[in-house]
Amino acid sequence: TLKKNDNKHNYKHGIVSSEAACNYRLYLNHLQEKIYEKVPPFNPSAKGSIRLLRLPHRHGSAKAIATAFDQLNISTPYVMIAQHDNFFIRDVQYLQQILNFMDDDDSKSWLQCVHFPSTATLKYVPKIKRRYGLDLENFCRPHKSRGLSQTAEKLCDLDGTFVPLIFWYGRTHIARTTYYTDMILRHFPLNVGDHLEELWGTRQLREILQCSAKTKSKNGHESEDNTAQTSPDDVESRFRKVHDKYGNYVFFDNSHSSKCTPPAKDVNFEQHEVIYHLSGRKARAATNNASEAEINYSFQIHQSPSVQRYAPQGTSFTTARRALALVPGLEFPHTKECQQELCQSESDVSQLRPIPKRIFKQRCFHCGEKGHSFKNCPASVSRDDEVQSKTEVLDLS
């Protein structure tokens, strides 16, 4: 949908100005030139190739991915679905080993999709236990191998843990090609504007939680027949049966950590994200006429020794943390609300917290209560020995 002289864009829903649409076409033209001229990083390695598939009209991410599968005749056994707003902030030194491991017959029954760690999946086991009361510890799959894989006869020097995901995340990941062609893109009729995370995420979460949820008997009374009347082995079997259908895991690599590093499912295990989700609501293209000092203004606020990882309170609803990426060519909009969030201090944090424009209906990631968001949570304000959440800067320059 094109709008004239309207600055209220909604790119996710395809509402843009004529100027924005024109700029996007110019961007695609420049991108095609770089691919044609093989300008790094658009120079394929080995026998690979790069092709830009230009769509005649808006599809949305789900239909765009489906169209790519239909028109590009993908013949590789694996694909990487990369999100445009996901940045790799650490090297992935285990990618080939993961693919070799997926070649093994033993993994084909349960492993379909491997995610790279992100802020949303750090400390995933305690996070899910806090939020849903579901203990994933027994479903994690530690793996340590040296030398050749059992069936594929390929080098599989892999040391880490596969942690099952209970929500289908639309983050950058690698997957079996058949996982997409036979299931993800074929199970639902895809409409313009659909997102795979919205189609599959709540569906998987609902099915997983039903493994131990209360059910109603014929007389209308609730009974926990999924837990009380069945053995733990039966509950575990049902979980694995449901999750094997989705087969999505996040992999935490231990091979480049200390020899004394505890397993990835350990609450105290120091985990790092590999990809970072850059929200379009937090950044914009750096203006050409802005001075370097102005562009780096919001970044310099965080360049102090006081910046630290988010340490949740004992009753915190999540174990996630807040992070902000410094990306070349991007800047933070100098809005009042943005500066309030960036300039929060321990002395007058209550005055700087932005007032929400509308009622927040979801659960707070910090305390678990409904009615306010994470950044407006009263429990996250530092008092005495309580630790206030800090924002960590990820320097990608």
Per residue of the chain (397 residues), give pLDDT as tens: 655 555 677 777 888 888 888 999 999 999 999 999 999 989 988 888 999 999 999 999 999 999 999 999 899 999 999 998 898 988 898 999 999 999 988 899 999 999 999 988 999 999 999 888 899 999 999 988 765 555 544 556 788 999 999 999 999 999 999 999 999 999 889 999 999 999 999 899 999 998 766 433 344 444 444 444 556 677 888 899 999 999 999 999 987 554 434 444 444 456 788 998 877 666 666 665 544 444 443 333 333 333 333 334 344 444 445 666 666 777 766 544 444 444 443 344 344 344 445 667 676 766 767 777 766 777 665 433 344 445 666 666 6
Per-residue model confidence (pLDDT) at position 305: 34
Per-residue model confidence (pLDDT) at position 258: 41
> Measured between alpha carbons, how far is 125 from 142 in angstroms, rounded to an integer?
13
Q: Which residues pair with 158 in a beta bridge?
A: 145
Q: Cβ distance 102 to 247 under 8 Å?
A: no
Cα–Cα distances (Å) from 205 to 92, 115, 169, 243, in that order, read 28, 17, 11, 10
Give this prediction's pTM: 0.75
Residue 317 corresponds to which amino acid? F
Per-residue model confidence (pLDDT) at position 307: 32
